[in-house]
Structure 1
């Protein structure tokens, strides 16, 4: 909802544990969406996805933009 873009969903599914196509996802179900999104910048992790014909009035509460982080660690070059 935050990008205000419209895409056609080519497949909606859930993990059972393999990817299985379904017609809809219920509350609390974890699923996936395959759509015709060409620009990665148009996708935001955690954003609300809604139906174009019946849009949600507002995004789900609790959304926070992700913070980019780099995790690193150091290991000794030799074990002496």
Structure 2
């Protein structure tokens, strides 16, 4: 989650940080993460409708890992093109 926030900020060229106080219980954290998937409303809704906290957290981890890889690649390309320019 921290990598996704950091890489997103780098791509948008603005400082972004996680809140100082994240939810502390698995259920609260799982709903907090799901509520911040703004760019994927169907996935967000599916996560919010999941009954199992464990399944919700596993799916969120999968999505965050995929997103992290995508953002890392985009950031590397952006850095490369910035160096060339």
Hey, which of these two has a bigger chunk of helix by percent?
2
Provide the TM-score with structure 2 as the length reference.
0.24
Hey, which of these two has a bigger chunk of strand by percent?
1
Provide the TM-score with structure 1 as the length reference.
0.24
Q: Name the larger-Rg structure.
A: 1
